[in-house]
Structure 1
Amino acid sequence: MMRTRPLKVALLGCGVVGSEVARIMATHSKDLAARIGAPVELAGVAVRRPGRVREGIAPELITTDAAALAGRGDIDVAIEVIGGIEPARTLINTAFENGAGVVTANKALLAEDGPALHEAAEKHGVDLYYEAAAAAAIPLVRPLRESLAGDKVNRVLGIVNGTTNFILDRMESTGAGYAEALEEATALGYAEADPTADVEGFDAAAKAAILAGIAFHTRVRLDDVHREGLTEVTAADIASARRMGCTVKLLAICERAADGRSVTARVHPAMIPLTHPLASVREAYNAVFVEAEAAGQLMFYGPGAGGAPTASAVLGDLVAACRNRLTGARGPGESAYAQLPVSPMGEVVTRYHLSLDVADKPGVLAQCATVFAEHGVSIDTVRQQGKEGSEEGASLVVVTHRAPDAALTATVEALRGLDTVRGVASIMRVEGE
């Protein structure tokens, strides 16, 4: 039988995502009550600008005192969609201390302070859910920490930022440069006025930290994730990838070492074969490829951003937290029993694509090949051609076999020291093979 007393929900933040959460709670209140086993009631909405009209939300629910709302003793679940580190962290801890479970979409906070939040939730016997923090509507956190809990995950490889995927997709499909593609993404609302978090890889790195921690049962912080953005990707890189039968994507890659004794987490642009499932992910969509020992290869695909998709994940967590509230149960907490070390980027082994500007004269190729050999980096293919509009220069494109990142870095430094090498135009990893 359904309980008649409603479960009370505090909504901390009412921007794009928060307003969608409130709308869905109101529109689907009967369905939510039936799924949970009790009605849910929006007890208050914390905002910064109370004068703004918020359709569908009763004015008496609006407050600017987020701390007081989070600290109310009658709140069953607090939903935090403010973002950032503070005041979000303080508000979440206040909710915990007053007995409320928490649902959050705050990837930056979880990547920075996830272990402490898990410990606080455990201490106060309440839930911490964050499906929306990794890939918005795409169900990824729950499958990793529940559905695959009995399996061994070896790799998580994915496109986890819609803005950057849109930019790279436009560069490939229209021939646009980075600046032009970014301008279009901004005009369509995919990119923020300040796109730094997206294009420099901070957003994807936070998600990689969360996913690596769950997948490998190890605490991984944002500082552990190697990060490179896509601002240096050029039309020439896109064209070179096409000639190789590849496309360029900004990837989040979390891997368990071959010997199982360490893990790595990284975000950077990479060339992937057109035959790989991630190569077909277009526009602002996200997709994550999971490789597990028993389950094999799994792919999760869908919109990775936006108010409604993110709110969908938040509401899914709300249902779970409310059900636990009714039964006195708790959802899964942090699993960090493995405590595997996070290896530095220099130990990552992969393939590389390098474009060098060199003098167009005999012996240059042999000289460069010697440098690769001296640093233990084996060459797979080489393409040399004269540069358009230049009588003296040439372009040398080298694709290597798998090698440690540190060896490649040393190779590049040595190449830059050669008189015949005028510059290293681009370096890009080749993944997904």
Structure 2
Amino acid sequence: MTTHADDLAQRIGAPVELAGVAVRRPSKVREGIDPALVTTDATALVKRGDIDVVVEVIGGIEPARSLITTAFEHGASVVSANKALLAQDGAALHAAAEEHGRDLYYEAAVAGAIPLIRPLRESLAGDKVNRVLGIVNGTTNFILDKMDSTGAGYQEALDEATALGYAEADPTADVEGFDAAAKAAILAGIAFHTRVRLDDVHREGMTEVTAADFRSAKEMGCTIKLLAICERAADGASVTARVHPAMIPLSHPLASVRGAYNAVFVESDAAGQLMFYGPGAGGSPTASAVLGDLVAVCRNKLNGTTGPGESAYAALPVSPMGDVVTRYHISLDVADKPGVLAQVATVFAEHGVSIDTVRQSGKDGEASLVVVTHRAFDAALTGTVEALRKLDTVRGVASIMRVEGE
């Protein structure tokens, strides 16, 4: 903000002055920041009353939630990058902002520098969004891309991501899908004008994805990505939000997203198919999104207005994962003897899951059976897998992978 102060002043219509910086470690050298502005008392800073905009990049639930609501109460608008807080308490924060006539902007909370929040809630405000499908975590995409391109196992790819700084020392939030699930909740809420909380999002991590899964995907002309998928039901009466690994065809635009990049595919009635692509994490991309929101909020302040708040008028129910309909790739370890395929096929039929293709290979009494289904309810597939595990001839369910993007 200090580096581009003159440009920001021209774009906003007034100069922007840095009033204070709340930090945990005041002794750390911060180039370009007057040490007199640095404080450890964040509460006192947001209570000052002469602050127009508070930028919150703390992360987590508390003290971020209290600081944001306190900022609203004392006359400041807020720019946040806090996906976890927005996914959990977005409705309450929007209500507080509206009560006090302030802005709450959070472009940086999802997909870093990629303009996504504003297009969804402003540019597509006159359209009907039916689906949002995307790669919204750079760490997981780097790991899966490395597994795909080199044949590496999960742990090997994770180690490289950690060494390069893409993965945290504790990568749980990324690889178990918590980060992507928070972003999915935010995207679904905006896209479908419905309150969607983090607890509404079905979440599966990617730690069980193997090199064998990638070999199977390649045989189908697919690759594997950790996807955030938000969908409106065919009848328009409900929505779903989920995060899990999935096979997608190599012909799909998301299949070519490499490294730590993010991309989100949006499908709507009038605009059709749109794709937003770019760096999804890191200091500079996040700063770009934060400054973009800062400019918008400052312009609103000068004009005596506020930007769009929460739009949850549709109030659609969020359906459980069992209501999702998609295709599946199931790999089974079975006994290599006559009749096994017939038994397996019978179980699928009994649960109303139609088989598309079957591949079988075996040696020395052991066999692998790969079944790809037609579209079916997730609940039906779950019942099928439970029944398969009870067969004496099925020695294990090696993997279950959904097939998306077709």
Q: TM-score normalised to the size of structure 2?
A: 1.00
Structure 2 partner of 1:113: 89
Q: CA RMSD in A?
A: 0.4
Which whole-Å CA distance do the structure 1 matches of 2:232 and 2:110 have between them? Answer: 19
Task: Output one character per residue of 1:314-368: Cα deviation in whole Å (capped at 9) or x when no partner.
Answer: 0000000000111101000000000000000000000000000000001100110
Deviation at 1:170, TM superposition (A): 0.3
Tell me, yes or no, if structure 1 residue 432 matches structure 2 residue 405: yes
The runs of at least 4 aligned residues of structure 1 exceeding 3 Å deviation read none
Tell me, yes or no, if structure 1 residue 337 matches structure 2 residue 313: yes
Q: What SS does the aligned partner of 2:274 have?
A: strand
Task: Output one character per residue of 1:100-146: Cα deviation in whole Å (capped at 9) or x when no partner.
Answer: 00000000000000000000000000000000101110000000000
Structure 1 partner of 2:352: 376
Residue in structure 2 matching 1:205, options 170, 181, 201: 181
Tell me, yes or no, if structure 1 residue 233 matches structure 2 residue 233: no
Task: Output one character per residue of 1:258-307: Cα deviation in whole Å (capped at 9) or x when no partner.
Answer: 00000000000000000000000000000000000000000000000000
Letter in 2 for 1:410: G
Structure 2 partner of 1:65: 41
Letter in 2 for 1:202: F
Which whole-Å CA distance do the structure 1 matches of 2:193 and 2:394 have between them? Answer: 45
Deviation at 1:55, TM superposition (A): 1.0
Tell me, yes or no, if structure 1 residue 398 matches structure 2 residue 371: yes
Deviation at 1:386, TM superposition (A): 1.2
Which whole-Å CA distance do the structure 2 matches of 1:356 and 1:145 have between them? Answer: 44
Residue in structure 2 matching 1:135, options 111, 117, 128: 111
Task: Give the gaps of 5 or more residues in structure 1.
Answer: 1-24
Tell me, yes or no, if structure 1 residue 415 matches structure 2 residue 384: no
Tell me, yes or no, if structure 1 residue 308 matches structure 2 residue 284: yes
Bigger Cα displacement from structure 2, 220-229 vs 50-59: 50-59
Which whole-Å CA distance do the structure 2 matches of 1:53 and 1:102 have between them? Answer: 26
Deviation at 1:429, TM superposition (A): 0.1
Which whole-Å CA distance do the structure 2 matches of 1:143 and 1:296 have between them? Answer: 14
Tell me, yes or no, if structure 1 residue 29 matches structure 2 residue 29: no
What are the equivalent positions in structure 2 for 1:10-159 lying under 5 Å apart? 25-159=1-135
Deviation at 1:376, TM superposition (A): 0.2
Letter in 2 for 1:282: R
Letter in 2 for 1:96: F
Residue in structure 1 matching 2:274, options 298, 301, 311: 298
Which whole-Å CA distance do the structure 1 matches of 2:303 and 2:123 have between them? Answer: 21
Q: What SS does the aligned partner of 2:110 have?
A: helix
Instruction: Name the count of aligned residue pairs.
Output: 406
Task: Output one character per residue of 1:359-395: Cα deviation in whole Å (capped at 9) or x when no partner.
Answer: 00011001100000000000000000015xxx11100
Which whole-Å CA distance do the structure 2 matches of 1:174 and 1:375 have between them? Answer: 38
Deviation at 1:153, TM superposition (A): 0.1
Structure 2 partner of 1:172: 148
Residue in structure 1 matching 2:160, options 165, 178, 184: 184
Structure 1 partner of 2:250: 274
Which whole-Å CA distance do the structure 2 matches of 1:374 and 1:136 have between them? Answer: 46
Structure 2 partner of 1:325: 301
Letter in 1 for 2:89: D
Structure 2 partner of 1:12: none
Letter in 2 for 1:413: E
Which whole-Å CA distance do the structure 1 matches of 2:40 and 2:144 have between them? Answer: 40
Which whole-Å CA distance do the structure 1 matches of 2:148 and 2:284 have between them? Answer: 28
Deviation at 1:167, TM superposition (A): 0.1
Letter in 1 for 2:160: E
Task: Give the gaps of 5 or more residues in structure 2.
Answer: none
Letter in 1 for 2:229: I
Deviation at 1:56, TM superposition (A): 1.1
Q: What SS does the aligned partner of 1:383 have?
A: strand
Which whole-Å CA distance do the structure 1 matches of 2:193 and 2:376 have between them? Answer: 27
Which whole-Å CA distance do the structure 1 matches of 2:190 and 2:148 have between them? Answer: 33
Which whole-Å CA distance do the structure 2 matches of 1:204 and 1:358 have between them? Answer: 34
Letter in 2 for 1:183: D
Which whole-Å CA distance do the structure 2 matches of 1:362 and 1:137 have between them? Answer: 56
Which whole-Å CA distance do the structure 2 matches of 1:329 and 1:55 have between them? Answer: 34
Q: TM-score normalised to the size of structure 1?
A: 0.93
Which whole-Å CA distance do the structure 1 matches of 2:214 and 2:132 have between them? Answer: 24
Structure 1 partner of 2:170: 194
Structure 1 partner of 2:260: 284
Structure 2 partner of 1:251: 227
Which whole-Å CA distance do the structure 1 matches of 2:370 and 2:48 have between them? Answer: 63
Which whole-Å CA distance do the structure 2 matches of 1:194 and 1:72 have between them? Answer: 37
Structure 1 partner of 2:139: 163
Which whole-Å CA distance do the structure 2 matches of 1:66 and 1:282 have between them? Answer: 39
Letter in 2 for 1:392: G
Structure 2 partner of 1:265: 241
Which whole-Å CA distance do the structure 1 matches of 2:282 and 2:110 have between them? Answer: 13
Which whole-Å CA distance do the structure 2 matches of 1:59 and 1:183 have between them? Answer: 38
